[in-house]
Structure 1
Amino acid sequence: MSRPALVLFDLDDVLVGYDHARRLATLAERTGTTPKVAHRALFTAGVEKAADQGVLDIPGTLAALARELGAPVTLDDWIAARADAMSARPEVLALARATAEVAEVAILTNNGLLLRDHLEQMHPPLFPLFRDRIYCSAQFGRSKPDPAIYRDCLAALGVAPADALFIDDKVANANGARAAGLKAHHYTGSSSLRSALATHRLLEPSA
């Protein structure tokens, strides 16, 4: 089996753990609201979806969220809430670092520009490994599992679909990557990820 030139990782629940309730609790605490109000503002009112789709830029996202919350929201508030929701996965990051010895690595996530531009502040352990290699749905105006987003991302990276491996915790997203011509692995844990990377010869030392 030929070795992929690029491994494209999902972010939440692959490279990092993601705790939805913790994010809402932190946002509520920092804005003087409640987790219920924070959930309604972010998700029921569609602010997060609009940001993920690229409809809202960074100032627009913060302004829309403040309107829905009925309270001021700073960039630091948003970063703190998102950061608190993310937890380290050292075993997965170690596999990503080993992979980077023999192939390119990058991130493709269904997220807005706020996360893409401030991820280093939110989760420093991912850096410098993924610096300048973070791609999000907002910049492409489409989301996983639309096959077009994988092709758009690979075009930005200068890699052909057949030369890329995509890793995601959602079956639908892995299937979308396959439909776009990529190899794909449905992430269920670090052990199965290690096996998949080994199968693709990504944990072998370079010649």
Structure 2
Amino acid sequence: MQSFRLPPPKALIFDLGGVFTTSRLDSVHFETGKSTISFDRLIRTSTWMNYECGKISEDECYSTLSELCGFPVAELYDAIKKGRARADYDESLISFLSKLKKSHGDSLKILLMTNISQPDYLALKDKWGPSFWSVFDRVFTSSENGVRKPSPRFYHKVLQELRVSPRDAFFVDDLIENMITAKAIGIRGLLFQSVQQTISVLTNLLGDPVEKGRAWLKANARKMDTTTDCGAIVVKENYSQLLIYEATRDFMLKPMTKFMNSEEPKFTTRRYPDDLDTTSLALSVLEYDEETIHGLLDDMLGNIDDDGMIEFYFDPSRPRIDAVISVNVVTLFCKYGRRYQVQSTFQWIHDILFHHAYLDGTRYYSTPEWFLYYVSRLIEESNDEVVTEKFHGLLRKRIQERVGSDGDALCLAMRILVCKRVGLLCPFEVEKLLSLQCEDGGWEQVYMYRFPGVDKKLGNRGVSTALALKALAAVSHH
């Protein structure tokens, strides 16, 4: 079920300059006596715009600009001639569109919609030949239609001739003013930044991102290691594997061991004690008998300091406290009916949420979404009316404050899941998360937590991908 997505578009509408080709004239300047004027400035004049709309001839345009700005008209003719001779296009994007055309047949139209004069269009048409132009079912030029972007009349005319509704079209352009008009009409679109970004977005738009993501997880099962921010050092730990398993509940992705480290610890002391974060997560998602669980909960009670706060390690020589980890531990206590034993930490979590104390992250987790996600998990896992009454309404307010803000794939996925838990919609987050999916089906590694003592950040592509898929699956049933 894909209700979180609009149907795939029936028409892809591309800009030409800035998407397929970049101007060779951006650095050209003309001497105008005491100063200079750039070519970029010339094409933003009403004279050039009239030329692009076919209202004046090439000669009239050039001579008018020459007289207006005070430079020899021959210099402009020469610059344009050289620019046309050197013009080229991105072959990788054309190759990608050729494959799309073959795979989708008549169900998908690929078009150009560009501001360009008739002489420039004819010059490029002759220079690039069928290897470029045959990819497009139609080419709409401003000179042929007497109107240029960002005029809404141009967009409506293209849609009318294609006989498609705005929601069935997808627009790619590098200029924000052109994109605003498209989206104001109801056309979906992508502000072009790179060829790779465009290929990735279109691949996901025309395919099934969830199936691609699941295929990536399956192909990389047991190989999704956690690495440092530089990517050079692999850290064998179970926390990320537990997060992946909890998000997917796929037996093939279940951790093989039940301990924090499966090799000698890195970035810390040689003897590294078990921590309550990984232990609490493992007891929540793996199969343990209740006697074992309650025995470990009893052990955790020995880690409460004089203020009633739960410390991070099963080691009194390491008195560490972290708000996100505290939520994780309290969740386990609530799940097994022992909330009364961690009441001070429970109230502290509420105070942090109430006073926005999570916004700068915590000692080990750098983004506010980690705290909010674990609070939503607290509500879900505890199945406790007191917990729901205390946190649900406040969490709804706090996550609503985050909707629309920037964030990486992990932040967006967590935000979507929290919104789902409290009954909010967040279409911006869903759209942004989909746009971040990689061509191979996974999502890029983003940083989960850090070792503050050595300033190292750790991340895992498997966690990013698993949480992204869980978020998309959640909203598909919303």
Q: TM-score range by the shorter chain?
A: 0.7 to 0.9
Rounded Cα–Cα distance in structure 2 between residues aligned with 1:137 and 1:105: 18
Between 137-146 and 172-181, the greater mean CA deviation after superposition: 137-146
Secondary structure, in 3 states, of the residue corresponding to 1:115? helix
The amino acid that maps onto 2:199 is R
The amino acid that maps onto 1:149 is F
Rounded Cα–Cα distance in structure 2 between residues aligned with 1:78 and 1:54: 21
Rounded Cα–Cα distance in structure 2 between residues aligned with 1:64 and 1:143: 16
Match of 1:127 among 118, 129, 133: 133
Structure 1 position 9, deviation (Å): 0.6
Contact 2:26 2:38 in 1 (8 A): no
1:110 corresponds in structure 2 to 115
Structure 1 position 86, deviation (Å): 2.5
1:86 corresponds in structure 2 to 87
1:137–1:123 Cα change, 3 Å = same
1:151 corresponds in structure 2 to 156
Rounded Cα–Cα distance in structure 1 between residues aligned with 2:44 and 2:165: 38
Secondary structure, in 3 states, of the residue corresponding to 2:59? helix
Contact 2:147 2:154 in 1 (8 A): yes
1:55 corresponds in structure 2 to 55
Structure 1 position 12, deviation (Å): 0.8
How many equivalent pairs are there? 188
Rounded Cα–Cα distance in structure 1 between residues aligned with 2:49 and 2:116: 8
Rounded Cα–Cα distance in structure 1 between residues aligned with 2:208 and 2:93: 13
Rounded Cα–Cα distance in structure 2 between residues aligned with 1:203 and 1:138: 38
Rounded Cα–Cα distance in structure 2 between residues aligned with 1:51 and 1:200: 36
Secondary structure, in 3 states, of the residue corresponding to 2:143? helix
1:133–1:107 Cα change, 3 Å = same
1:95 corresponds in structure 2 to 96
Rounded Cα–Cα distance in structure 2 between residues aligned with 1:152 and 1:62: 28
| TM score, norm. by length of structure 1 | 0.73
Secondary structure, in 3 states, of the residue corresponding to 2:49? helix
Structure 1 position 173, deviation (Å): 1.4
Structure 1 position 72, deviation (Å): 10
Cα deviation 1:164-201 (Å, max 9, x = unaligned): 11101112212211112211111111221122102221
Between 37-46 and 5-14, the greater mean CA deviation after superposition: 37-46
Rounded Cα–Cα distance in structure 2 between residues aligned with 1:78 and 1:136: 22
Cα deviation 1:89-110 (Å, max 9, x = unaligned): 1221122222323211110111
Rounded Cα–Cα distance in structure 1 between residues aligned with 2:185 and 2:206: 22
- Describe how 1:1-207 pairs up with structure 2 within 5 A: 1-21=6-26, 39=39, 43=43, 47-56=47-56, 60-65=57-62, 68=66, 69-71=72-74, 80-101=81-102, 102=104, 103-124=108-129, 125-130=131-136, 133-201=138-206
- Say what the alpha-carbon RMSD is for the aligned residues: 3.3
Q: State the identity as a percent.
A: 20
Secondary structure, in 3 states, of the residue corresponding to 1:20? coil
Secondary structure, in 3 states, of the residue corresponding to 1:194? helix
Secondary structure, in 3 states, of the residue corresponding to 2:19? coil
The amino acid that maps onto 2:53 is Q
Q: Which has the higher contact order (CA 8 A, sep 6+)?
A: 1
Contact 2:167 2:186 in 1 (8 A): yes
Secondary structure, in 3 states, of the residue corresponding to 2:88? strand
Name structure 1 gaps, 5 residues minimum. Answer: 29-35
Larger Rg belongs to: 2
Contact 2:13 2:170 in 1 (8 A): yes
Name structure 2 gaps, 5 residues minimum. Answer: 1-5, 31-35, 67-71, 210-478
1:31 corresponds in structure 2 to none
1:47–1:145 Cα change, 3 Å = closer
| TM score, norm. by length of structure 2 | 0.35
1:112–1:78 Cα change, 3 Å = farther
Rounded Cα–Cα distance in structure 1 between residues aligned with 2:191 and 2:21: 15
Structure 1 position 161, deviation (Å): 1.8
Rounded Cα–Cα distance in structure 1 between residues aligned with 2:158 and 2:122: 16
